[in-house]
Every structure is written in structure tokens, then in C-alpha cells.
Structure 1
């Protein structure tokens, strides 16, 4: 298994594909790990080099030795790109992963060839909401919020017809460290990415799940409106994590977007 020491954090990552197209680094959402991208990476592996990873406090990566902000998570992504020998690349991020993508582009605009921002926004939720969630997770564990989170991650159709998968993704959530979840909640709580979004000067595709309850389509559309020239797509019948519900469709949208980018 590939591990790397990234900014004091032992970080798990995975590379797939050896295509000649621009590399894509995938940044996952709160409470998930690299596996949410497996279907997309498999679909793209014939043409793209894909890197997925577990951000700090998630999956097989270390907990953080100190509190952190979205900018720190972006520094981790850029350092991972250095470790992999990738100079210029596209970032595809979902939810907090989209915030990480925005912060990465702000920190190193010369390295970012394009952005694909799924189900994210410049601000997500309110400080009060995040403080309540942090308190509940610290006091009662992730199982206490799991059913509510599943309703926000996945569409009604997915929850009704793909119940074995639903149970598996719920297991992923409840088995992750509560500390890593809570610390990332705090990073989202304190983030306002409006300035970063308005400064983006690379091709950008913004995608919303039609049934997303965490970042509803109108909120995601408002992010697209803040980025000059950004394209906006809604995926019907999908919740907060389109890479799970509609991996092939998301891969098609991503592949079409990548074809429009210069490879230099």
C-alpha cells in the first residue's frame, strides 16, 4: 500500500491509470475516504493518471497533531502532488474536497489546469450547525448522526433500491475516527471561500446533485456564478456524492471537460 509523509501526516494515496492526459487529483468529502472515487478512476484510467487519497483524519491517514484549516488541507494536496512528481494537474473535489480544490488553486494557481467542483459552495452550513454536530459527535459518536447523514448523502431512490450499498457506506462513516470528523467539521465551519472562488482563472466545471440536501443545487449554482466562465451541470436523481450514485455519468462529464483543456 502506498503511504507518504505529507506535512507531518502519514497519508494513504492511490494512483491509477497511465494515460497521456492531464493528471487528476481527487479530494473526498467529510466522513468518506478515497473509495468514493473508485468507479470514476476506473472509468478514466485508460486516458488519465488519477490520484485519490485519504485526507488527514480520514481513512488510513494520520490524525492531525493540531487543529487545521482548509488552507492546511490544500497544502497537503499540493505536497502530495509534489510527492507524486505531478507539476500541473486538475483537481476534482466534492463537498469539503471542493473547498480544498478552491484553496489549492488560490495557493498555487500556476499548477492548476482546471477544477471540477462537485456539490460544494464557498460556505457550507452555519457555525451554529457545525458546533452542534461537533458536540454530538464528540459526545455520542458518529453512529448518532449516521442515519441523518445518509439522507443527505444519497437520493431517496438510492436509499430505497440500493440498501446493501447504503449499509456499506454507513459503515464507512461510523467506523472513521470521530476526532478526524469533528476537526474537519471545524475547518468547514471556519471557511469562507468567496475570495478564492472569485479569483479562479482556470476552466471550471461545477456539478450539483439534484437531490442534494447538504449543498442544494441553488447553493452550488451560486458558486458557479462567482467563478468567471464556469460551466454548471445538474445530475438528476443524485444526492451529495455523485461519484457513488452515478460514477459513470460523472466520469463522462469529467472526461468531456478534460478534453477541452490544453495538455501543456
Structure 2
């Protein structure tokens, strides 16, 4: 029996949704678009839902037919073609939720990353021991093998920070996350020392919001902003107790850019942030 094809990824669905938006701006129905493009109606629908792969040339043809004159956007869409990326995350397909694979694929293609955390340190900056302590305390409890799968997945996500052309990352971290002490003193101290080392990398900026900074937006959830080559194709990922939520409408993207900008404005400068991390580590 042949294995069932996996559902389209967030990235594939996003490409289809953007092509649908281009079509709708020209007031073309699926039927009229299919006739104009020389496609069948199911083909157009399948592309727009991400179920059918589409070539870069076909995306350019569709954009021309939809009178899209934004060449930067068209080329960014063309770069999203070719179906699901067969990255390292595919080895976790049968053991982790689909949104975990979607996040890894989006991070792989992002040109910059911005993340904000209040209680938990960003996954991209966690040590293996810290990740193990956090994941092992999940509710409801998960089996030891699943804990190991999730920890190794989280560590492998960090490859985007170490590849030949590493992805620039700005991490906004509240002082509360530095002082949580997950895993006990030794794990917590090692985690903060690792965070200090990472903050010295040219492409990694760590900004700390200290106690006493006052109110700041979005204080109750982690935010992960994945920037594309074209801002219209950016994605926001929010961590929730039931998994990841992915947002990509223009009002949503604009809102979270403003939220992150305001959180940055509440943060200490990089050098002052490192000094605070050192003080917290010394207190453990």
C-alpha cells in the first residue's frame, strides 16, 4: 500500500493563498482564471489551496495574467515554488505535530528572525539540557522517547544560526525568563553562559527587558517573526498551549512588527543586556 502524501505545509498554503489574493484583486473567478491561464478549474483551486505544486514560470505567468506589477513580490512568490522542502525536519514527520515541521521549514527560508519571550527563553537559543527540562515538564506528560524527539528537533532548528550564511536573529527576552531557573542551578547557569556566548555573535542580537521597565505589549505570549525576502510574505508564529498559530495577513503582520518594535524600545542595549545576564548568572 502506498504511503499517503503529507498535507501541504504552511509555506505551500501561503503561496496558494497569495496567488488567490492576486486573482481576487482582479475580480476574476476561478472559472475565468482557469480559462485565461489555460488550466482546468480544479488545477487553479488545487494550486490556491497548496495541494498542487506549481513551477516558478507558472507563478510568473499567473501573476502577469492577474496584472500584478510588483516584480519583487512576483519573484519572491516564484522562490516559494517546487513543493515541500525536503529538509532535515522530514525525519520527524511521524513523531512530531505538523506545525513543528512547518516552523522549521519557515525558519529555513527566512531572511531574518525576530523573537520575543517572557517566561521561556527562545527555542533557538536553548541548550539541550534547558530544552530537556522544559519539554520534560509538559502537560499532559509525554513519553521519554517523545521528549527526546522534541529536544533533538529543537536543537536541530538552531542550524539556521550556524550555517554558512547564518540567519540574523534578534531575541527580546524579559528578565523573568533569565531568572526562572528551569532544570536547577547548574542547568540554568550553563544556559545563561551559553546565551552570553551566543549574544557575542555578529548576527545574533540579545536584548533584555529588565524588571522595572514598566508595561510592554504582548506580555503573555512568545512571538516569532519570520521575515521573507518580501515583507508581504512574512509570517508570525505564536506559541500556545495547543501548539503553533501562524499569522500572515497584512494587518496581523503590521501589528506584530509594531509590538516587537515597542518591546525593543523597552529593552536594554546589547551591552547592558549582557551585563544583566552576567549578574543573573552570578546570583544563581
- TM norm structure 1: 0.32
Please identify the structure whose Cα radius of gyration is greater: 2
- More contact order relative to length (CA 8 Å, sep ≥ 6): 1
Greater strand content: 1
- TM norm structure 2: 0.30
